[in-house]
Copies of this chain bind each other. A is one copy, B any other.
Amino acid sequence: MVGASKAQTGNGPIRYGMVGGGQGAFIGAVHRIAARLDGEFELVAGALSSDPARAKASAAELGLDPERSYGSFKEMAKAEAKRSDGIEAVAIVTPNHMHYPAAKAFLEAGIHVICDKPMTSNLADAKKLAALAGQSGRLFVLTHNYTGYPMVRQAREMVAKGVLGDLRVVQAEYPQDWLTERLEGTGQKQASWRTDPKKSGAGGATGDIGTHAFNLARFVTGLTLDSLAADLTAFVDGRPLDDNAHVLLRFKGGAKGMLWASQVAPGNENALKLRVYGTKGGLEWEQEHPNHLWFTPFGQPKQLITRGGAGAGDAAGRMSRVPPGHPEGYLEGFANIYAEAARAIRAARRKGGKAGKDVIFPTVEDGVEGVAFVEACVKSSRKNGAWTKL
């Protein structure tokens, strides 16, 4: 029996705060649901908006103690670090350019960080953050949430076990359509900051969703990217960042791949898809049907492995809450990252404690790699698609 309650490991929920995520934001609410789903986290503090009125109203709506609704993340880090009942972790859900200063503040205050992706808006910040995180002794969890889907774990496990043989071809794609027209021109908040290089960094579609596709490919295959050749385009007039990225990939060891990220492909919502082919078989997974994984052993009939069904292993099982055929979705996958974070934080509560090897989440190193991927794409594209080392 798949145990819906298995993540509830007792000793009281983990107190956490949030930076960003006030009214009008999107991803903040997703983080709160993900944190709440297994009862592992309790939201007790926030610097929810850079706009004081919005910050206050947002805190009230969420039932925060007004005293713990802060005007800035710096103030929050300082104040919470002093409290005996202060937060153990912070979720950073601001636009990209604020990730670095906020994460720095909390790590320095001895508080675990759960941070949205891409990790920073430039590679220099990313490297500094990695160094900082390493020194801090605190946890850094990057919410590349698609790695939380059970069948993504299943795929990773199968590759690691050699079921596919030696990998040859990796096809990753993440098409969307929401920026087909100039939505940022209407003032829509999500579109505005995502197409603004000051807030997003150098990558548009590349940074927002290309990093997801890249991270997913890396997570499942375990392959290291050697170099890439990119052709980035801003199809919508007046858009300063790419809204379509065509990228060729060369992995260490000889595997090759393609990555396509687009925000201008009508009919695509969040059509993240990964296909991996090796000498012995292939795997195909789509985010919009996340409970299914196609396994295609060479010379045998194709198999559809379902979450919790026959053929699904332990790596998927420990990420599941309900029986097969009852679909789990985006929020459950996101919550799995929080569940893994909770396990790691609980382990860290014990002096020098570490979570087991089966506890897996994207880290600050994945964050550095993601930002390096974006910068390499931009660099290659500016050099007319020259092969560029990561």
Query: A229 to B385, Cβ gap below 8 A?
Result: yes
Query: A244 to B256, Cβ gap below 8 A?
Result: yes
Most buried by B among A8, A277, A279, A306: A277
- Alpha-carbon gap, A120 to B150, bound state (A): 35
Query: B244 to A231, Cβ gap below 8 A?
Result: no
Query: A262 to B39, Cβ gap below 8 A?
Result: no
Contact bitstring A4-36, B, C-beta under 8 A = 1, else 0 = 110010101000000000001010011011001
- Alpha-carbon gap, A184 to B9, bound state (A): 30
Stretch in A83-91, A132-140, A284-292, A355-363 touching the partner: A284-292
- Alpha-carbon gap, A54 to B235, bound state (A): 57
Query: A297 to B266, Cβ gap below 8 A?
Result: yes
Q: What chain B residues lie within 8 Å of A169 (beta carbons)?
A: 235, 244, 262, 264-265
- Alpha-carbon gap, A305 to B23, bound state (A): 28
Stretch in A70-78, A100-108, A326-334 touching the partner: A326-334
- Alpha-carbon gap, A168 to B265, bound state (A): 9
**In whole Å, how far is A349's beta carbon from the nearest beta carbon of chain B?**
16
- Whether A338 is near chain B, meaning CB under 8 Å from some CB there, is no
In the complex formed, the residue of B with least CB distance to A21 is B5
Query: A325 to B268, Cβ gap below 8 A?
Result: yes
- Whether A195 is near chain B, meaning CB under 8 Å from some CB there, is no
Contact among B32, B39, B311 with A5 in the assembled complex (CB-CB below 8 Å) = B32
Stretch in A175-183, A196-204, A369-377 touching the partner: A175-183
Interface range, A side: 35 or more
Most buried by B among A284, A295, A309: A309
Stretch in A111-119, A217-225, A316-324, A340-348 touching the partner: A316-324
Query: A294 to B280, Cβ gap below 8 A?
Result: no
Q: A10-B63, A266-B281 are in contact. Are A327 and B288 (CB under 8 A)?
A: yes
Query: B310 to A299, Cβ gap below 8 A?
Result: yes
Q: A36-B36, A248-B246 are in contact. Are A322 and B327 (CB under 8 A)?
A: no
- Whether A314 is near chain B, meaning CB under 8 Å from some CB there, is no
Query: B325 to A328, Cβ gap below 8 A?
Result: no
- Whether A382 is near chain B, meaning CB under 8 Å from some CB there, is no
- Alpha-carbon gap, A385 to B228, bound state (A): 11
- Alpha-carbon gap, A157 to B330, bound state (A): 25
Q: A229-B248, A385-B387 are in contact. List 11 more A-B contacts (CB 8 A).
A: A4-B26, A32-B39, A168-B244, A168-B264, A176-B325, A267-B277, A267-B298, A270-B326, A301-B310, A384-B387, A385-B385
Instruction: Show 22 A/B contacts (Cβ-Cβ < 8 Å), sorted by A.
Output: A4-B26, A4-B32, A5-B61, A12-B63, A30-B322, A36-B39, A169-B265, A231-B248, A258-B258, A264-B277, A265-B275, A265-B282, A268-B282, A287-B327, A288-B327, A289-B289, A290-B327, A302-B306, A322-B331, A328-B329, A329-B329, A385-B387
